[in-house]
């Protein structure tokens, strides 16, 4: 973690900008002003300007020449601002008098009074741990920090977790095991120096579109690209090598690649000896993974494994990236470790053009998991069972260490505990598990079994729509705070508008509940988001994710600061592991990985593999993007992607069945998917929601669900299942632009959506 690291790799300065940032000149002419901020959606965290009219209304977007995105934006980023004055916004609190009654408007006093009395009743009756907090990572880091502190100090419950549990936790656990710290090793600009880039289970063009410029920039400079995915994505279309492996076989594949590298004598023995521990056991393991054996497991030509191994092994500088495609598995942590083994064995880390990274799905997926809302962690990536960490954080919070709860359970487990009656009450914020969590029927049973459920959101999500109390919170553009992108770079969101109507900043709502509860109420006397950040700096000091040297001003005056940043004169740490890893001895760890099949193997009844993922126009459970007209127009509904060999024609109703449920979709017939695999995008609710079918098997370490593979069969259906339009609060009319495409049964012509001729 050298302090001399450069933020930009050599060559990044030659990364050509489109001419001119609009900024001042245009604003002067139109009487508007521009608020410099970042996008609320994925882990790229593109810089953008929000256009604010002279009357104070957010009405548009302008490209911003931030170091991350160089003015680039994706269709979600361009339209993100349309949430701000959206007619579906929650503008007053809602309560439900009895289950089965509709939600009705309530005052803040009534709604908060109900929340507080139910928390007290449940905790007095069943104990403090009977009340849970389920948070999310699309919040600013200040709010994420606050949610962890709120659960542990105000509620004294061990049950707090976050929706990164559905996203990044496998990679986080693997990074921690191998490197001793959970962060991408390199800034993306390092890609421009790489000779080989390997991307596994990451649909870059649709999930992290703006990162594509780094991949294409690397190829312009001569880099070779390897993609690993059962679907031929837009990035894979022109890749030098594309590996269309069978879902659920990633660890076998990477063992096979390392086998080839080792057989060809391309191990960096010096790096392995100086900087790692445990290579011999891994070497013995990968010797069993011959290309022939791996080819049979993965359903690919053995020669392809040879070619990937040869290309990777010969590179002086190579980088590997992965995302949910290899992480959403019961062997998710192992899959990540099998990639890391390859990186470590060839010494491809800690240098410009040599490195490794995982691509966070949520905007603040990184920052949101490292400051204490994860069930087993305290702020600064501290482990909650580490006595030193407990003592330090208890000191920062001004409580007795004995008062600090111990580790709780993970997100999906908490809902299962609600089903079994162990958890009786829950406050949710920044998540929509009725659409996002696997095996929806069981998730619904869990939420229905709660005696009390409060949800904080800015739109009425499907999950809000079943809650007892809904509190109207704030959008990213209505508050300020920091977010940490997939590189580990901390950026600053700025406020462009007030929350509408009676809606309030999320941190105000949480602090107000704590104040009314009265237990350590003085620990929540924050009057601004900045005060929370200042406390977070102190809480992170000395931890792995050390933000203590950052100030909002420093973050804004640079292209963002990479943690760790332990003092105000420290430049931040764009590239990790240049000299040492974060384990006590400074060395990285190999982990021998034995591949095993997914939780549900195919059989005669369910002979195909179902995999799920995103499409470019939508984000997570779609609670935001299903309300933006342009995005709905691009991709109005889900489909099932099938290979022509299955015998369906474009648009046919195809019923997908798993052991958990079934739904009928229009067929998108493509040659770009494996014959034995079908794909459904997961952003929609109602009868066509993907989580009716997905399996709730969890990785034993990370507790991530196996969204990326389960057994299914397909058959000709009768009627295409409708999607449910996004719920709206009482009194609001459904947004015409947003709901416009709902009744449409056609599949898109391509996974990226409808062309302008079809829309």
Task: Name the H helices within 94-211.
Answer: 108-126, 141-149, 169-179, 204-207
Strand order through the sheet with 241-243: 241-243, 224-228, 196-200, 318-322, 355-358
By CB under 8 A, is residue 625 in contact with other proteins?
no
* Residues in contact with other proteins, shown as a per-residue x/- string from 536 to 555 under the rule CB under 8 A: --------------------
* Residues in contact with other proteins, shown as a per-residue x/- string from 473 to 512 under the rule CB under 8 A: ----------------------------------------
Residue in 220, 141, 216 with CA at minimum distance from that of residue 506: 141
Nearer to other proteins, 66 or 703 (CB): 66
> b or e along 277-313 (b: 16 or more beta carbons within 10 Å of the residue's beta carbon)?
ebbeebbebbeebbbebbbebbbbebebbbbbbbbbb
Q: Segment 635-664, which members bind other proteins (CB under 8 A)? A: 644, 650
- Smallest distance, other proteins to C-beta of residue 579, A: 34
With contact defined as beta carbons under 8 Å apart, do 17 and 70 qualify?
A: yes
> b or e along 118-128 (b: 16 or more beta carbons within 10 Å of the residue's beta carbon)?
bbeebbeebeb
By CB under 8 A, is residue 13 in contact with other proteins?
no
Instruction: Give bridge partners of residue 669 from the DSSP assignment.
Output: 642
By CB under 8 A, is residue 379 in contact with other proteins?
no
Binder among 4, 25, 603, 736 for other proteins (CB under 8 A): 25
Using alpha carbons only, give the angle 433, 438, 439 rounded to the nearest 5 degrees.
110
Binder among 273, 402, 733, 757 for other proteins (CB under 8 A): 757
Nearer to other proteins, 19 or 98 (CB): 19
Binder among 672, 691, 694, 702 for other proteins (CB under 8 A): 672
Nearer to other proteins, 186 or 672 (CB): 672
By CB under 8 A, is residue 670 in contact with other proteins?
yes
- Smallest distance, other proteins to C-beta of residue 45, A: 14
Q: How far apart are CA 176 and CA 182, in angstroms?
A: 5
Q: Which stretch binds other proteins (CB under 8 A): 2-10, 13-21, 189-197, 459-467?
A: 13-21
Binder among 78, 173, 333, 544 for other proteins (CB under 8 A): 78
- Look-up: residue for tokens 């695999």? 677
Nearer to other proteins, 341 or 672 (CB): 672
- Smallest distance, other proteins to C-beta of residue 691, A: 25
Binder among 336, 617, 712, 714 for other proteins (CB under 8 A): 617
By CB under 8 A, is residue 753 in contact with other proteins?
yes
| Number of residues this chain uses to bind other proteins (CB under 8 A) | 53
Nearer to other proteins, 597 or 644 (CB): 644
By CB under 8 A, is residue 19 in contact with other proteins?
yes
Q: Which stretch binds other proteins (CB under 8 A): 19-27, 119-127, 266-274, 355-363?
A: 19-27
By CB under 8 A, is residue 77 in contact with other proteins?
yes
E strands in 28-79: 33-38, 47-52, 58-63
Nearer to other proteins, 359 or 517 (CB): 359
- Look-up: residue for tokens 């959008």? 475
By CB under 8 A, is residue 353 in contact with other proteins?
no
By CB under 8 A, is residue 405 in contact with other proteins?
no
Using alpha carbons only, give the angle 439, 442, 448 rounded to the nearest 5 degrees.
140
By CB under 8 A, is residue 57 in contact with other proteins?
no
- Look-up: residue for tokens 């361009």? 78
- Smallest distance, other proteins to C-beta of residue 737, A: 9
Q: What phi, psi does 656 have (nearest 5°)?
A: -105, 125
Structure tokens at 255: 């063992």
- Smallest distance, other proteins to C-beta of residue 65, A: 9
With contact defined as beta carbons under 8 Å apart, do 629 and 740 qualify?
A: yes
With contact defined as beta carbons under 8 Å apart, do 248 and 708 qualify?
A: yes
With contact defined as beta carbons under 8 Å apart, do 703 and 165 qualify?
A: yes
Using alpha carbons only, give the angle 202, 208, 210 rounded to the nearest 5 degrees.
135
How many other C-beta atoms are found inside a 10 Å radius of the C-beta of residue 725?
17
Nearer to other proteins, 214 or 447 (CB): 214
Q: Which stretch binds other proteins (CB under 8 A): 17-25, 372-380, 656-664, 728-736?
A: 17-25
* Residues in contact with other proteins, shown as a per-residue x/- string from 264 to 303 under the rule CB under 8 A: ----------------------------------------
Nearer to other proteins, 2 or 238 (CB): 238
Q: Segment 681-720, which members bind other proteins (CB under 8 A)? A: none
Instruction: Give bridge partners of residue 351 from the DSSP assignment.
Output: 354
Structure tokens at 595: 């591949």
Q: Segment 181-220, which members bind other proteins (CB under 8 A)? A: 204-206, 209-213, 216, 220
How many other C-beta atoms are found inside a 10 Å radius of the C-beta of residue 356?
27
* Mode of pairing for the β-strands spanning 588-589 and 241-243: unpaired
Using alpha carbons only, give the angle 560, 204, 217 rounded to the nearest 5 degrees.
70
With contact defined as beta carbons under 8 Å apart, do 135 and 373 qualify?
A: yes
Q: Which stretch binds other proteins (CB under 8 A): 15-23, 192-200, 354-362, 676-684?
A: 15-23
Q: How far apart are CA 166 and CA 438, in angstroms?
A: 9
- Smallest distance, other proteins to C-beta of residue 357, A: 18
Structure tokens at 11: 């060559």
By CB under 8 A, is residue 73 in contact with other proteins?
yes
- Smallest distance, other proteins to C-beta of residue 485, A: 15
3-class DSSP string for 70-124: CCCCCHHHHHHHHHCCCCCCCCCCEECCCCCCCCEECCHHHHHHHHHHHHHHHHH
Binder among 270, 522, 671, 718 for other proteins (CB under 8 A): 671
Residue in 338, 356, 340 with CA at minimum distance from that of residue 276: 340
Nearer to other proteins, 202 or 470 (CB): 202
By CB under 8 A, is residue 630 in contact with other proteins?
yes
Instruction: Give bridge partners of residue 609 from the DSSP assignment.
Output: 677, 711
* Residues in contact with other proteins, shown as a per-residue x/- string from 215 to 244 under the rule CB under 8 A: -x---x-----------xxxxxxx------
Binder among 189, 588, 616, 690 for other proteins (CB under 8 A): 616
Q: How far is CA 318 from CA 291, 402, 464, in A?
A: 21, 48, 45
By CB under 8 A, is residue 604 in contact with other proteins?
no
Binding residues for other proteins, rule: CB under 8 A, are 16, 18-20, 22, 25, 30, 60-61, 63, 71-75, 77-79, 204-206, 209-213, 216, 220, 232-238, 616-617, 630, 634, 644, 650, 669-672, 749-753, 755-757
């Amino acid at each position: 973690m050298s302090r001399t690291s450069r933020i930009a790799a050599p060559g990044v300065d030659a990364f050509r900008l489109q001419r001119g940032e609009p900024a001042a000149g245009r604003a002067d002419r139109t009487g508007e002003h521009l608020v410099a901020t970042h996008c609320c959606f994925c882990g790229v965290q593109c810089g953008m300007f929000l256009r604010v009219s002279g009357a104070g209304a957010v009405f548009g977007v302008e490209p911003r020449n931030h170091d991350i995105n160089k003015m680039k934006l994706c269709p979600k980023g361009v339209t993100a601002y349309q949430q701000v004055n959206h007619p579906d916004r929650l503008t007053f609190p809602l309560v439900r008098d009895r289950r089965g009654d509709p939600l009705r408007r309530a005052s803040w006093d009534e709604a908060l009074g109900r929340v507080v009395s139910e928390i007290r009743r449940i905790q007095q009756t069943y104990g403090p741990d009977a009340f849970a907090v389920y948070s999310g990572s699309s919040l600013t880091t200040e709010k994420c920090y606050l949610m962890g502190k709120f659960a542990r100090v105000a509620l004294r419950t061990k049950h707090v977790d976050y929706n990164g549990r559905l996203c990044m936790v496998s990679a986080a656990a693997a990074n921690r095991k191998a490197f001793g710290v959970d962060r991408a090793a390199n800034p993306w600009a390092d890609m421009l120096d790489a000779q080989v880039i390997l991307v596994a289970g990451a649909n870059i063009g649709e999930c992290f579109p703006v990162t594509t410029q780094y991949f294409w920039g690397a190829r312009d400079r001569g880099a070779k690209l390897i993609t690993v995915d059962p679907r031929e994505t837009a990035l894979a279309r022109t890749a030098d090598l594309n590996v269309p492996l069978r879902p659920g076989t990633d660890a076998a594949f990477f063992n096979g690649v390392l086998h080839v590298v080792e057989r060809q004598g391309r191990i960096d023995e010096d790096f392995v000896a100086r900087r790692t521990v445990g290579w011999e056991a891994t070497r013995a393991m990968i010797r069993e993974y011959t290309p022939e054996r791996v080819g049979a497991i993965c359903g690919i030509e053995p020669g392809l494994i040879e070619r990937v191994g040869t290309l990777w092994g010969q590179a002086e500088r190579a980088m590997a990236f992965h995302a949910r495609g290899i992480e959403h598995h019961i062997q998710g942590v192992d899959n990540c470790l099998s990639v890391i083994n390859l990186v470590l064995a060839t010494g491809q880390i800690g240098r410009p053009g040599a490195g490794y990274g995982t691509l966070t799905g949520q905007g603040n997926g990184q920052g949101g998991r490292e400051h204490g809302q994860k069930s087993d962690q305290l702020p600064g990536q501290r482990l909650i069972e580490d006595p030193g960490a407990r003592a330090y954080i208890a000191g920062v919070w001004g409580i007795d260490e004995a008062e600090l709860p111990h580790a709780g359970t993970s997100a999906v487990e908490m809902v299962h505990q609600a089903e079994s009656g162990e958890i009786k009450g829950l406050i949710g914020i920044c998540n929509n598990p009725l659409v996002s969590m696997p095996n929806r029927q069981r998730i619904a049973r869990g939420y229905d079994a709660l005696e009390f459920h409060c949800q904080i959101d800015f739109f009425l999500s499907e999950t809000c729509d079943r809650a007892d109390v809904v509190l109207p919170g704030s959008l990213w553009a209505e508050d300020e705070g920091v977010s940490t992108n997939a590189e580990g770079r901390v950026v600053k969101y700025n406020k462009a508008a007030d929350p509408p109507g009676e809606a309030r900043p999320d941190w105000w709502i949480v602090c107000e509940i704590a104040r009314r509860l009265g237990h350590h109420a003085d620990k929540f006397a924050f009057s601004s988001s900045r005060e929370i950040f200042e406390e977070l700096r102190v809480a992170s000091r000395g931890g792995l994710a050390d933000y203590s040297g950052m100030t909002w001003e420093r973050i804004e005056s640079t292209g963002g600061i990479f943690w760790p940043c332990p003092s105000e004169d420290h430049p931040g740490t764009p590239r990790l592991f240049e000299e040492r890893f974060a384990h006590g001895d400074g060395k990285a760890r190999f982990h021998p990985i034995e591949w095993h099949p997914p939780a549900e193997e195919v059989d005669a009844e369910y002979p195909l593999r179902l995999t799920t993922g995103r499409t470019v126009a939508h984000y997570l459970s779609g609670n935001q993007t299903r309300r933006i007209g342009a995005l709905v127009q691009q991709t109005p509904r889900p489909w099932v992607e099938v290979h022509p060999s299955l015998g369906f024609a474009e648009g046919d109703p195809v019923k997908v069945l798993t052991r958990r449920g079934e739904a009928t979709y229009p067929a998108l017939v493509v040659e770009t998917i494996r014959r034995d695999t079908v794909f459904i995008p997961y952003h929609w609710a109602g009868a066509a929601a993907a989580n009716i079918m997905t399996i709730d098997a969890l990785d034993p370490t990370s507790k991530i669900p196996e969204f990326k593979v389960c057994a299914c069969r397909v058959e000709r259906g009768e009627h295409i299942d409708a999607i449910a339009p996004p719920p709206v609060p009482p009194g609001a009319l459904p947004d015409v632009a947003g709901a416009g495409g709902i009744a449409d049964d056609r599949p898109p012509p391509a996974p990226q959506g409808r062309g302008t001729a079809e829309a």
